[in-house]
Amino acid sequence: MKTHYILFLILSLMTFQAHAKVGYKAGNTAPEFKLKSLDGKSYSLTQLRKNSPVMLVFWAVECVYCYAHIKEFNRAHDKYQGKLTIAAINVAGEYPSEVAEYVKDNGLKYLVLSERLKNLDVAEKYRVLGTPTVVLVSAEGKVLFYGHKVPALDKWIK
């Protein structure tokens, strides 16, 4: 019995350490990147956050949770137009043609960045382990939120 307790304690501490290294925390500087949209235009994080916060959404075509949030992201896009940029970064290595078809079929209103393998590099910089992963970045380049749901945007956007 005592051995099980010690083993549980060790595993708990290891899990805590692993979680501490995953993702970014509020206040961290967001890693810079440059990716292309579906229409071939290049966007950098600096450019996206020039006048307002940016909500990065790391997603995949086959992710049912990503699909479930489309309406929320579209509403945020409409509500905060000019005050927030939403940039969806596809991280499943899907071809731009597949991504474009998904965007059209599902009515995504926000910016979609799809540069296949470069997107994976960006996801690695942001320590993305699952989809969707949402990162809210301030206009100054600091991480405000890192998680797997749509944050309470009213807290940061007036």
* Residue corresponding to tokens 């970045």: 137
- Cα separation, 147 vs 158, whole angstroms: 21
Residue 24 pLDDT: 66
Is residue 16 situated within a structural domain? no
- Amino acid occupying residue 35: L
Tokens representing residue 41 in the block: 């235009």
Phi and psi at 112, nearest 5°, equal -120, 125
Domain that holds residue 132: 25-155
Tell me what the mean pLDDT of segment 15-31 comes to: 64
What CATH number does the domain containing 47 carry?
3.40.30.10
pLDDT digits (tens, 9 = 90+) for 41-98: 999 999 999 989 999 999 999 999 999 999 999 999 999 999 999 999 999 989 999 9
How many domains does the chain contain in total?
Answer: 1
Is residue 70 situated within a structural domain? yes
- Cα separation, 90 vs 123, whole angstroms: 9
Q: Which residues of 67-89 are buried (b: 16+ CB within 10 A; e: fewer)?
A: eebbeebbebbeebeeebbbbbb
Is residue 13 situated within a structural domain? no
Contacts of 117 (CB under 8 A, 6+ apart): 93
**Which of the listed ranges 2-11, 39-48, 115-124 does the model predict with the highest average pLDDT?**
39-48
